[in-house]
């Protein structure tokens, strides 16, 4: 037998994130890095907690409905909330529904199963969903009020022209026009033109040419045109001419107009917008996907009448997203699943292929679009997952997370292939994968579903761009039983999260717990929930597979940012045995407002932070291992006890437990879901706290009728809320190494002895 000494094994850098390979040799990788963010120095800080964004008016007006999207309007001006066929905003606290001129909702079609697509341009939000509603745009007018209008204007039918008899021939053209203001800027929508020839007519300045039965544009149940402001623009040529000049206009709803303009006067008027060769501004088609880049809108997966065209893409007129000539269409080779852009390059995603678009049509129809395939296999499974950040575009692909600069495509999640595959298998709808860019912290975050029993997205996958974009990029995760992330948005520099119950939450590093949704009580009375942070290392062999090792103790180092309870577990030989080290229960920080704080405690130093450094020994017995994993997570520990608050009186009939020393003592403010046990049975049975009825009385769950009435000493235990961890690193001390691996025996290879 040979032995050798070994230096302490130190891990102080977690910057490579998670991997599926439990035997990865680089200690900067982790098997689990859940509810941690990796800091710029490579340390790991527990994620921000969350709270309801407004407890007074917490839920959208439609109630318990899925929040399908949140839109940061005009860079933190307002947070728009979409659910079903509606869009809301806070005004200033209560939710207000954005409706059209006659009260129609934003979408004419909208269900919880529909996923929206939207793009912002000049403080206007163009949006649709995959149920093919009328395309809409939302903006704030000059008075600062939100408006919603149907995107674009339709073609107008020809009116009736009645001239006096004569020898002249005129051409007439009409179209709808709408002027609107966004802030202080004026925009104009125009519709396609409709031409009519009027022959055998007298000169209109001699005998008027009467227009009648001018069509009236109305909204019905599906549109949001501002019909009171829209006008019908009327143009005419001179006798036997071909150039259209403006005659006048009729307000929508006015069905008659008399043309009395002479040819001489007519030629001093403005020309019709198509006169310079500009193509007709056909309205935006019904579509599933929209993206705007370089002042050009691209519409994908088009529907015309009752026919869907999954391969079709249409471009808008430059600088006018609402004008989309029918000639500006191309057909790709695969079904479109999303559209994005990177460094001003339009990118179209399909089920398998990914394309770069080169060139565009100008307003006269010159030019064209060339599509260049940049990937044959990556594909995109959710247009909501497409995120542009720092010169790259990222998306959820067929077998992992992908990145492109517009020319090259590469998979960047090779270390988590199994997780990604399992996520796809567990997801009820992968189209709901929802991505956003955290500019301040340089992270791309995706909400996704990892548990097949969850009704919606239940976790977050983070890509940390600080550590580079590479085939093995740095990923971490967030989770929590109350973390339901149907949609994400960064607003006022904080991550906001919309859930499937109609609530919006925000995350802040100053919040140390998650707010727990309880739809049957007021949001102001909701309890909080512990954030369970969980780090698990890869299997360490400490440099050699030949020797078995004896890890004897470890030193954990953390920044002292708050009181915390830490459990360290040793997982030996890839799960063969799990041993719990003695928990670290750090209680040296005074928490203002803690009614149970013991003044004069020598463990507490006022305003003292510094570093937490704690040694823990590995449990005795069976120390020799080939591999070891270390898990660092929250400790299930004592919250408080009768030593601090005195005896309790248990009422087994009412399932209540009352402090004997009330009112001089009080139960902790956050006590629901902790577990209480008494000395009656030597603390063997634990009862979950159901409610805090007063400072002195709690009610517990006793489904097995095991409570015993009387006065007892007690313990309150649980995973304490409000306890973060800033993990700087740890050191494992190896006492020695022994060469005691199994020796080879004849027959071990299957041969006869």
Residue 52 tokens read as 């309801």
Strands (E), 91-223: 95-97, 116-121, 124-129, 136-140, 146-150, 160-162, 165-182, 185-190, 194-201, 209-212
Q: Contact, 716 vs 640, CB < 8 A? A: yes
CA atoms within 13 A on the CB side of 626: 11
Domain boundary, last residue among 244, 266, 288: 266
Q: Give the closest residue to 79 by CA, choosing from 491, 436, 557, 670.
A: 491
Q: What is the DSSP letter of 264?
A: H
Same domain, 611 and 730: yes
**Cβ atoms within 10 Å, residue 42:** 16
Task: Quote the DSSP letter at residue 681.
Answer: G
Is 593:668 a contact under the CB 8 Å cutoff? no
- pLDDT band with cut points at 50, 70 and 90 for residue 625: confident
Structure tokens at 752: 């006869």
> Which of the residue ranges 103-117, 434-448, 609-623 would you say has the lowest mean pLDDT?
609-623
Choose one of 216, 240, 266: the last residue of a domain.
Answer: 266
Cβ–Cβ under 8 Å, residues 245 and 233:
no
Cα–Cα distance between 358 and 330 in angstroms, integer? 12
Neighbours of 267 (CB within 10 A): 14
Give a yes or no: residue 323 inside a domain.
no
Average pLDDT rounded to a whole number, residues 247-254: 98
572 contacts 579 by C-beta, under 8 angstroms? yes
Token pair listed for 494: 């904080």
Q: What are the angstrom distances between the C-alpha of 475 and each of 38, 443, 462?
A: 9, 9, 5
Same domain, residue pair 597 and 733: yes
| Range scoring the smallest mean pLDDT among 1-5, 206-210, 383-387, 686-690 | 1-5
pLDDT higher than 80, residue 752: no
Query: What's the rounded mean pLDDT across residues 536-545?
Result: 88
The DSSP annotation for 360-425 comes to: -B-TTS-B--EEEEEESS---S-GGG-EEETTEEEEE-SSSEEEESSS-EEE-BGGGHHHHHHHHH
* DSSP codes of every residue in 455-510: SS--EEEEEEGGG--STB--EEEE--TT---SEEEEETTEEEEE-TTSBEEEEETT
pLDDT band at 597 (very low <50, low <70, confident <90, very high): low
At residue 734, the pLDDT reads: 85
**Which pLDDT does position 588 carry in this prediction?**
76
The neighbouring-strand residues paired with 342 are: 345
Give the span between the Cα atoms of 42 and 28, in whole angstroms: 9
Cis preceding-peptide flag for 96 (omega within 30 of 0):
no
CA distance 649 to 271: 91
Residue 550 has pLDDT above 70, yes or no: yes
Are 632 and 600 in the same domain? yes
Per DSSP, the three-state class of 187 is strand
**What is the C-alpha to C-alpha distance for residues 126 and 290, in angstroms, rounded to an integer?**
8
Final residue belonging to a domain, choices 247, 266, 285? 266
Distance, CA of 719 to CA of 67 (rounded, Å): 30
With cut-offs at 50, 70 and 90, classify the pLDDT of residue 605. low
Q: Are residues 594 and 731 in the same domain?
A: yes
What pLDDT is attached to residue 620?
80
Q: What number of residues does the chain have? A: 753
Pairing state of beta strands 17-18 and 29-34? parallel
The verdict on 605 and 659 lying in the same domain is: no
DSSP notation for 594-631:
-TT--TT-TT--TT---EEEEEEEPPSS---BS-EEEE
CA distances for 175 relative to 223, 247, 476, 534, 715, angstroms = 18, 12, 55, 63, 79
Q: What is the C-alpha separation between 664 and 654, in angstroms, rounded?
A: 23
* Selection from 483, 582, 471 nearest residue 532 by Cα: 483
Same domain flag for 630 and 657: no
> How many independent structural domains does the chain possess?
3
Structure tokens that stand for 191 in this block: 């519709």
Name the CA dihedral angle for 261, 267, 270, 273, rounded to a multiple of 10 degrees.
100
Q: Per the omega criterion (within 30 degrees of 0), is the bond before 663 cis? A: yes
Predicted confidence (pLDDT) at residue 596 exceeds the cutoff of 70: no
Report the alpha-carbon distance of residue 7 to residue 600 in Å, rounded. Answer: 41
170 and 238, same domain (yes or no): yes
Check residue 543 and give its pLDDT: 79
Label residue 600 by pLDDT band (50, 70, 90). low
Question: What is the pLDDT at residue 542?
Answer: 85
Classify residue 500: in a domain, yes or no: no
Residue 526, domain member (yes or no): no
What is the average pLDDT across 365-391?
Answer: 97
Task: Please report, for residues 347, 391, 422, 528, the alpha-carbon distance to residue 343 in angstroms, rounded to integers and kept in the order given.
Answer: 10, 6, 33, 42
Per-residue pLDDT, 702: 96
- d(Cα 155, Cα 192) in Å, to the nearest integer? 5
Instruction: List the one residue out of 737, 663, 720, 735 whose CA is nearest residue 697.
Output: 663
Cα(448)–Cα(385) distance, rounded to whole angstroms?
A: 9
Same domain, 623 and 682: no
Residues 632 and 732 in one domain: yes
Same domain membership, residue 593 and residue 696: no
In a domain, 283, yes or no: no
Which residue range(s) make up the domain with 602?
Answer: 3-47+532-638+725-737
Q: What is the pLDDT of residue 685?
A: 96
- Confidence at 573, pLDDT banded by 50, 70, 90: confident
Judge whether 128 lies within some domain: no
The token pair at 31 is 């098997």
208 neighbors 258 (Cβ within 8 angstroms): yes
Return mean pLDDT, the chain.
93
Cα–Cα distance between 400 and 379 in angstroms, integer?
10
> How does pLDDT run across 25-72, given as a tens digit for each residue?
999 999 999 999 999 999 999 999 999 999 999 999 999 999 999 999
In a domain, 506, yes or no: no
What is d(CA 281, CA 223) in angstroms, rounded to the nearest whole number? 18
Q: Check pLDDT > 80 for residue 743.
A: no
Q: Which two tokens stand for residue 141?
A: 């007018």
Q: What is the pLDDT of residue 575?
A: 81
Within a domain: residue 569? yes
Instruction: Give the bridge partners for 577, in sequence order.
Output: 572
**CA distance linking residue 684 with residue 704, whole number of Å:** 14
729/587 same-domain check: yes
Cβ atoms of 656 and 698 closer than 8 Å = yes
Return the pLDDT at 152: 96
Whether 232 and 198 have beta carbons less than 8 Å apart is answered as no
- Interval 178-193 mean pLDDT: 97
Cα-based distances in Å from 578 to 571, 630, 734, 742: 5, 10, 18, 22
Average pLDDT over residues 255-278: 98
**Is residue 176 in some structural domain?**
yes
Cα of 668 vs its chain's centroid, Å: 34
Kindly state whether residues 705 and 566 are assigned to the same domain: no
Q: Are 337 and 380 in contact (CB under 8 A)?
A: yes
Flag whether pLDDT at 751 surpasses 70: no
DSSP β-bridge partners for residue 299: 290, 314
């Amino acid at each position: 037998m040979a032995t050798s000494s070994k230096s302490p094994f130190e891990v102080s850098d977690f910057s490579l994130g998670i991997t599926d390979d439990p035997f990865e040799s680089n200690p900067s990788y982790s098997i689990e890095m859940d509810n941690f963010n990796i800091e710029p120095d490579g340390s790991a800080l527990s994620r921000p907690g969350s709270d309801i964004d407004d407890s007074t008016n917490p839920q959208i007006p439609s109630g318990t409905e899925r929040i399908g999207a949140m839109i940061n309007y005009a860079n933190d001006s307002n947070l728009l909330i979409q659910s079903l066929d509606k869009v809301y905003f806070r005004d200033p606290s209560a939710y207000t529904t954005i409706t059209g001129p006659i009260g129609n909702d934003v979408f004419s079609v909208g269900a919880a199963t529909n996923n929206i697509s939207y793009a912002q341009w000049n403080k206007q939000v163009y949006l649709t969903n995959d149920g093919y509603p009328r395309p809409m745009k939302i903006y704030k007018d000059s008075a600062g009020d939100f408006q919603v209008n149907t995107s674009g204007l339709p073609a107008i039918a020809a009116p009736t022209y009645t001239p006096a008899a004569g020898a002249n021939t005129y051409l007439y053209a009409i179209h709808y026009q709408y002027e609107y203001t966004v802030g202080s800027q004026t925009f104009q929508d125009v519709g396609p033109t409709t031409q009519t020839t009027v022959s055998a007519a007298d000169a209109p300045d001699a005998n008027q040419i009467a227009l009648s039965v001018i069509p009236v544009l109305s909204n019905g149940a599906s549109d949001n045109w501002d019909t009171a402001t829209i006008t019908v623009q009327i143009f005419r040529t001179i006798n036997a001419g071909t150039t259209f000049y403006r005659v006048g206009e009729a307000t929508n709803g006015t069905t008659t107009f008399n043309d009395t303009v002479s040819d001489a006067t007519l030629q001093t008027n403005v020309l019709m917008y198509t006169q310079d060769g500009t193509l007709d501004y056909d309205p935006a088609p019904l579509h599933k996907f929209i993206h705007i880049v370089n002042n050009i809108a691209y519409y994908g997966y088009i529907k015309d009448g009752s026919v869907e065209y999954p391969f079709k893409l249409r471009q808008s007129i430059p600088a006018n997203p609402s004008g989309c000539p029918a000639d500006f269409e191309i057909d790709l080779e695969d079904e479109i699943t999303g559209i994005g852009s990177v460094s001003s390059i339009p990118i179209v995603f399909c089920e398998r292929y990914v394309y770069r678009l080169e060139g565009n049509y100008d307003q006269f129809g010159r030019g064209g679009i060339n599509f260049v395939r940049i990937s044959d296999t990556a594909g995109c499974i959710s247009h909501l997952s497409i995120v542009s950040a720092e010169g790259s575009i990222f998306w959820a692909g067929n077998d992992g997370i992908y990145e492109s600069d517009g020319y090259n495509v590469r998979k960047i999640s090779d270390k988590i292939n199994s997780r990604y595959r399992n996520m796809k298998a567990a997801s009820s709808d992968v189209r709901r994968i929802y991505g956003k860019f955290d500019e301040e912290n340089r992270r791309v975050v995706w909400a996704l579903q990892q548990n097949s029993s969850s009704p919606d997205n239940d976790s977050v996958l983070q890509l940390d761009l600080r550590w580079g974009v590479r085939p093995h990029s740095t990923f971490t995760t967030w989770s929590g039983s109350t973390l339901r992330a149907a949609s994400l948005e960064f607003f006022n520099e904080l991550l906001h999260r919309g859930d499937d119950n109609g609530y919006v939450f925000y995350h802040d590093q100053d919040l140390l717990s998650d707010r727990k949704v309880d739809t049957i009580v007021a949001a102001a009375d909701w309890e909080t929930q512990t954030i369970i942070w969980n780090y698990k290392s890869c299997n360490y062999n400490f440099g050699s597979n030949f020797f078995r090792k004896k890890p004897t103790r470890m030193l954990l180092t953390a920044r002292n940012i708050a009181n915390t309870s830490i459990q360290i577990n040793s997982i030996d030989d890839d799960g063969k045995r799990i041993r719990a080290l003695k928990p670290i229960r750090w209680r040296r920080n005074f928490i203002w407002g803690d009614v149970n704080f013991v003044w004069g405690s020598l463990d507490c130093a006022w305003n003292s932070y510094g570093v937490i450094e704690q040694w823990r020994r590995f449990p005795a017995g069976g120390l020799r291992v080939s591999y070891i994993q270390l898990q660092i997570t929250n400790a299930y520990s004592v919250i408080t006890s009768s030593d601090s608050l005195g005896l309790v009186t248990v009422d087994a009939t009412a399932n209540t437990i009352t402090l004997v020393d009330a009112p001089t003592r009080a139960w902790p403010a956050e006590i629901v879901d902790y577990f209480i046990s008494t000395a009656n049975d030597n603390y063997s049975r634990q009862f979950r706290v159901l409610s805090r009825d007063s400072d002195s009385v709690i009610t517990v769950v006793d489904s097995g009728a095991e409570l015993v009435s009387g006065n007892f000493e007690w313990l309150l235990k649980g995973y304490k809320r409000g306890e973060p961890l800033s993990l700087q690193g740890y050191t494992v001390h190896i006492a020695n190494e022994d060469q005691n691996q199994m020796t080879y025996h004849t027959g071990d290879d299957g041969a006869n002895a």
